[in-house]
Amino acid sequence: MTLLEDARAIQTDLVQLRRTLHREPEIGSDLPMTQAKLLAALDGLPLEVTTGAALSSVTAVLRGGRPGPAVLLRSDMDALPVGELSGEPFASQIDGAMHACGHDLHMAILVGVARLLSARRDELPGSIVFMFQPAEEGPGGAEPMIEEGVLDAAGSRAVAAYGLHVSSAHNARGVFSGRRGSLMSASDTIGVTVLGQGGHGSRPHRAKDPIPAACEMVTALSTRVTRAHDIFDPVVITVGSFHAGTAANVIPASAHFDCTVRSFSPEARAKVHQSINEVLTGIAHAHGLEVEIDRRDGYPVTVNDDTEAEFVAATVTDLYGADRYRWMEHPESGSEDFSFVLAAVPGTFVFLGACPPELDPATAPVNHAPQARFDDGVLADGTALLAELAVRRLARAATAADTLPAPRDAEAAPVSSP
């Protein structure tokens, strides 16, 4: 049987696991119930399993029957602080928590891959690292797992890494999508405090009013984006909160606002932060005020390796047909901490449409919405794809190794004439 046939044969088991995970979502880095469910699902497979020290991660290594490099496959584990309104019969039983981004599907898919490849262990020319990661939705779990050695869990650095993400809208059910290069934006947060001097609203000349300066900063940031940055390498600055003052006739001593900063290349990311500092300090000084800028770096740009992106597209086309893969024209403006893995290991991230067939992808509730629904009928296809990517990538590495010239000390010594 093919990997796809094997994946379809365990579809019922994958659905059951996905729904079990969905009923008891957990948020953040500490996911004891989720970790226990994954460990139980992996139990009995020929895996070397370790759990994280800094967070409730699970790393499992499958060593193939023949020597070779390692390929890493990743799933996130955490849910969102969202009260579920999906109406699903297996909806969350935890108040204020929901798998609204499909991470429950990701976990079921990766467990399925572990089952399929464990059955083919003897045929594998290398190892597979299964990375189950908490805290993708924040504060970030990829970096701690990298620090704890997940990229080298098989004994050497993985030669490739692949991840998959389902979407409840946009893509039609069962359609994969991706792109070369930048796939998802970097996301950073800036907290800005404008420091002035409080006073009476009737005597503004006796105070140093921070509110007009802070308002000017908000509008100036939007203008700076359109004038200092390439429209074909965009940045997006969104001010999401603004707080100042306590009464209409009181000039406050400070004003504060917070914004998110999205960028789609490392170069744009560096430049936009320089622009922000210049705009904020310039306006503050023009008003005779001080400004404190608290930059909190989030996730970097998620960048697909061009060769690996082509490889994924070719594999999808080979398995399911050309109509099941769509090249994305533009990156997604969301962010993803698999970016840390792709910064260290060549690989790619791919999207899979999981919109229920009775809904229109153009109008269906999107990921993170309390009404978001995902069709778990795509589990087998996602499982087969990741399994095929791992098998084919190891085979490609083995073929490349076979074509390398023999090292000099292994060559026969020349025969001297008598």
The answer to whether 332 is a known catalytic residue is no
User: Tokens 């093919």 label which residue?
Assistant: 2
Q: How far apart are CA 83 and CA 85, in angstroms?
A: 7
Separation of alpha carbons 391 and 16, rounded Å: 26
> Before 81, cis peptide (omega within 30)?
no
Catalytic annotation, pick one of 6, 26, 78, 305: 78
Report yes or no: 48 and 128 within 8 Å, Cβ to Cβ. no
Closest residue by Cα to residue 165 from 357, 328, 371, 394: 328
For residue 318, indicate whether it is catalytic: no
Nearest to 306 by CA among 338, 342, 332: 342
Q: Pairing relation of β-strands 290-299 and 186-195?
A: antiparallel
CA distance 97 to 79: 7
Report how far apart, in Å, the C-alpha atoms of 313 and of each of 76, 171, 177, 322, 349 are: 22, 16, 8, 9, 11
Indicate which residue of 84, 104, 136, 375 is catalytic: 136
H helical segments located in 97-209: 103-118, 142-147
Positions marked active-site: 78, 136
